[in-house]
Amino acid sequence: MFTSAVVKRPCSNLVNGIRSTNLGVPDFARACRQHDTYIAALEACGLSVTVLAPDEGFADSVFIEDTCLVTNECTVITRPGHPARRGETRSVAQAMVRFNRPVIEITAPGTLDAGDVMRVDHHFYVGLSDRTNAEGIGQLAQILGPFGYTVSAIALTSVLHLKTGVSYLENNCMLAWGEFVSHPEFAGFTILAVDDDEAYAANSVWINDRVLVPEGFEKTRALIAAHGYDTLAVDVSEFQKLDGGLSCLSLRF
């Protein structure tokens, strides 16, 4: 169960965020309203939400998940793989001190975006991607190993981050799209396969037996609900324009 979440408010420079989609430039005012609703959804799932101030220097800094990974034993500050995002970690590292865990940093030449990190109990699957390299994954394994966690790499072929295409919904159940539907590493899990026309919804978020699903992806929402989950739809269309999913917008622990 999670008790806490940390989010970072969108900055007005969001409109200059990194994007590979053809969905257009995000509307900043609308993004702020969607962020308010997202925070309310986290609170509705029982989380105490810490809201960090916007970081105008970094257009993508609202996607705080990429910068940090929190376990009961430590906080890992990542080293984002895109150079334009690397400085996002400074303010996040300062803010995370309040949670009373040792703060450990991924260092050069390692790179790691925590959007590539998917936890399944005491194991962490980590996407080997354009953003996360083998050195970064090795460092994460060194950091988490002493606390009893294991780490393995999953080479990505078509998605930005591992969790762009697969989400663990607890109960041995995975929501998966594309290359992850039949992935041998996930053969032991119940796979809920997301249709191609709803690929974006493969990034849904389990929080305390509820699942946040992006608004407008009704087939995926119905699929998740049919497996016994209480779902909550949240409109994150302005963040989708920057390749950001629901999970990217928070740390949950």
165 binds ligand GLY (CB under 6 A): no
Number of residue whose CB is nearest ligand GLY: 18
Take residue 231 and report the two structure tokens written for it.
Answer: 């779902």
Tokens 């999953």 correspond to 154
C-beta separation of 137 from 128 below 8 A: yes
Q: Phi first, then psi: what are they for 172, rounded to 5°?
A: 60, 25
Shortest distance in whole angstroms from residue 60 CB to ligand GLY:
5
Query: Does 205 interact with ligand GLY (rule: CB under 6 A)?
Result: no
Residue of 10, 54, 178, 244 interacting with ligand GLY (CB under 6 A): 244
User: Site map for ligand GLY, 213-242, x if CB under 6 A?
Assistant: -----------------------------x
Give the binding range for ligand GLY (CB under 6 A) out of 11-19, 90-98, 190-198, 203-211: 11-19
Closest CB 28 distance from ligand GLY, rounded Å: 15
Q: Using the rule CB under 6 A, is 18 a contact of ligand GLY?
A: yes
Nearest approach in angstroms of CB 89 to ligand GLY is 13
| CB of residue 158 to ligand GLY, shortest distance in Å | 15
Radius of gyration of the chain (CA): 17
Nearer to ligand GLY, 78 or 139 (CB): 78
64 or 224: CB nearest ligand GLY: 64
Residue 161 known to be catalytic: yes
Choice between 63 and 200, CB closer to ligand GLY? 63
Task: Restricting to residues 32-71, name those near ligand GLY by CB under 6 A.
Answer: 60, 63
- By DSSP bridging, strand 117-120 and strand 48-52 are unpaired
Is 19 or 35 the residue whose CB approaches ligand GLY more closely?
19
Give the Cα separation of 211 and 51 in Å (integer): 21
Question: Could you write out the DSSP letters of every residue in the chain?
Answer: ---EEEEEPPPGGGGG-----SS-PPPHHHHHHHHHHHHHHHHHTT-EEEEEPP-TT-TTTT-GGGGEEE-SS-EEE-B-SSGGGGGGHHHHHHHHGGG-S-EEE--TT--B-GGGEEEETTEEEEEE-SS--HHHHHHHHHHHGGGT-EEEEEE-SS-SSHHHHEEE-STTEEEE-GGGTT-GGGTTSEEEEPPGGGGGGG--EEETTEEEEETT-HHHHHHHHHTT-EEEEE--HHHHTTT--TGGG-EE-
Piece of 16-24, 38-46, 135-143, 146-154 that binds ligand GLY (CB under 6 A) = 16-24
Residue among 18 and 181 whose Cβ is closer to ligand GLY: 18
Closer Cβ to ligand GLY, 110 or 186, answer by number? 110
Active site residue 248: yes
Residues serving a catalytic function are 161, 248
Residues forming the site for ligand GLY (CB under 6 A): 17-19, 60, 63, 82, 85, 242-244
